[in-house]
Amino acid sequence: MGKICPLMGPKMSAFCMVMSVWGVIFLGLLGVFFYIQAVTLFPDLHFEGEGKVPSSVIDAKYNEKATQCWIAAGLYAVTLIAVFWQNKYNTQQIF
């Protein structure tokens, strides 16, 4: 099997693989915590303008951030597959 688009060597791909697995788990969980509206994550929400914010806006914000985290987690899942493929076919050190 020849090298298919060799982008990273074994060490880099191993590191990215670990980061991707971590990203999927971490961002997935973070999404869950946003979804259940964890108070500790409230300072991470960003609101436009001053004054009182109605609770429906806060709910929407929490949900939006949860989706955002899950999309990012999905991106990491894709990255994981890509990096796994890299690691499998490009085991030779290229640099």
* Residue with Cβ nearer other proteins (8 or 41): 41
- Least distance to other proteins from the beta carbon of 46, Å? 5
Q: Is 3 within 8 Å of 87 (Cβ atoms)?
A: no
Whose tokens are 């961002």? That residue is 27
For position 80 contacting other proteins by CB under 8 A, the verdict is no
Tell me the two tokens of residue 17: 């693989």
7 to 36: interface string for other proteins, x by CB under 8 A: ------------x--xx--xx---------
Tell me the two tokens of residue 8: 């990273």
User: Is residue 51 classed exposed, middle or buried when 0-12, 13-18 and 19+ CB atoms within 10 A define those classes?
Assistant: exposed
Size of the site for other proteins (CB under 8 A): 26
36 to 75: interface string for other proteins, x by CB under 8 A: --xxxxxxxxx---xxx-----------xx-xxx-xx--x
* Neighbour tally for 23: CB within 10 Å: 18
* Residue with Cβ nearer other proteins (2 or 46): 46
